[in-house]
């Protein structure tokens, strides 16, 4: 009995993750059109007929824009915090959403989901872990900053989709971004830089986490080779010790389904 996961899209133009068990599947976020999401889901090797619902982590458009349409068209459930529901009301349209509470859990499609409040600048945002059998994965993007308790959570995972949003030099040199936006990105409610993601994982005391998918890269302020090079350079010792492997999630295209193993 296995858990399979894939990123369907990852970045500020749209985010969605697909988690599948023998009992069904759940989407985490739906920040792209319904047509494109379904096409990417199938290309990843997933099955729309297995989907039981969508967990929306927060109200920003790149996580929520397609959720209402998919909910109404396919009858998929929606789960989100009350704050996210309130802040995303216009984008969602008419929906029946079930409330989740940071620090609480949810059982769906055979998974046990646990929700972690983050300091990202949405309204009541969460990230999550998903457990099926002995396997555990996490989706931790849009984190704000490396907050207390996060290393302990990551240390208990087998695979994580981890934010590696920007390269500080590229962000500083970006003439299209005003100072206020730059401050927001690198501030306490913004995003993690490449080195911050790497330092989080490098400092983990245990050896369980063996697969890292660098996610939510900025299109203008990062490049896949920069994120990968920074991360693998700083975590080389851990990779050698426990066999940890790292890949970068494509921005617009899906990954192929991969198995999460304990």
Q: Which residue range is the domain that position 240 belongs to?
A: 3-254
Integer CA distances (angstroms), 232 to 87, 97, 172, 229, 262, in order: 37, 40, 23, 5, 22
Question: Which residues are within 8 A (CB) of 76 and not within 5 positions of it... i.e. 6 or more apart?
Answer: 27, 51, 52, 53, 54, 70
What is the CB-side half-sphere exposure of residue 167 using CA atoms within 13 A?
A: 17
Query: By C-alpha distance, which of 143, 189, 185, 147 is closest to 168?
Result: 185
Residues written for the chain: 262
Enclosing H/E stretch for 116: strand 111-117
Residue 260 lies in a domain: no
What CATH number has the domain bearing residue 239?
3.60.15.10
The whole-number average pLDDT for the span 218-225 is: 97
In a 3-state reduction of DSSP, which class is residue 68? helix
For 112, the 3-state DSSP assignment is strand
pLDDT value, residue 216: 97
Structure tokens at 261: 């193993």
**Residue 70 maps to a domain:** yes
Q: What is the pLDDT of residues 137-161, one digit of tens each?
A: 999 999 999 999 999 999 999 999 9
What mean pLDDT is predicted for residues 11-21?
A: 96
Confidence of residue 10 (pLDDT cuts 50, 70, 90): very high
For the segment 66-124, what is each residue's pLDDT rounded down to a tens digit? 999 999 999 999 999 999 999 999 999 999 999 999 999 999 999 999 999 999 999 99
Residue 48 inside a domain? The answer is: yes
Q: Which helix (H) or strand (E) holds 115?
A: strand 111-117
Distance CA 82, CA 80 (A): 7
79 domain residue, yes or no: yes
Sheet holding 97-99, edge to edge: 97-99, 77-80, 51-55, 24-28, 16-21, 3-9, 258-260
Q: At residue 1, does pLDDT exceed 90? A: no
Domain assignment present for 178? yes
Asked if residue 240 is part of any domain, the answer here is yes
For the chain, how many structural domains are there in total? 1
Q: How far apart are CA 127 and CA 141, in angstroms?
A: 7
Residue 236 lies in a domain: yes
- The pair phi, psi for residue 66, each rounded to 5°, is -100, 0
Whether 191 is in a domain gets the answer yes
């Amino acid at each position: 009995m296995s858990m399979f996961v894939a990123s369907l899209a990852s970045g500020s133009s749209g985010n969605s993750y697909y988690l599948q068990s023998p009992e069904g599947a759940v989407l985490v976020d739906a920040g792209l059109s319904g047509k494109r999401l379904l096409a990417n889901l199938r290309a990843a090797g997933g099955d729309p007929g297995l989907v039981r619902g969508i967990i929306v982590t927060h109200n920003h458009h790149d996580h929520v824009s397609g959720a209402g349409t998919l909910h109404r068209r396919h009858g998929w459930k929606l789960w989100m915090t009350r704050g996210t529901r309130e802040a995303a009301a216009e984008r969602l349209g008419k929906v029946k959403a079930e409330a989740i509470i940071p620090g609480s859990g949810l059982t769906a499609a055979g998974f046990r989901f646990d929700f972690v409040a983050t300091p990202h600048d949405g309204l009541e945002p969460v990230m999550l872990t998903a457990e099926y059998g002995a396997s555990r994965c996490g989706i931790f993007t849009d984190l704000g900053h490396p907050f207390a308790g996060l290393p302990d959570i990551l240390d208990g995972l087998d695979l994580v989709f981890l934010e590696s949003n920007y390269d500080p030099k590229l962000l500083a040199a970006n003439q299209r971004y005003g100072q206020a936006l730059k401050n927001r990105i690198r501030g306490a409610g913004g995003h993690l830089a490449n080195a911050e993601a790497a330092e989080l994982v490098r400092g983990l005391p245990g050896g369980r986490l063996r697969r890292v998918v660098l996610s939510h890269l900025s299109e203008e302020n990062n490049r896949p080779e920069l994120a990968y090079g920074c991360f693998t350079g700083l975590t080389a010792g851990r990779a050698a010790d426990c066999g940890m492997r790292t890949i970068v999630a494509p921005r617009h295209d899906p990954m192929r389904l991969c198995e999460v193993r304990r």
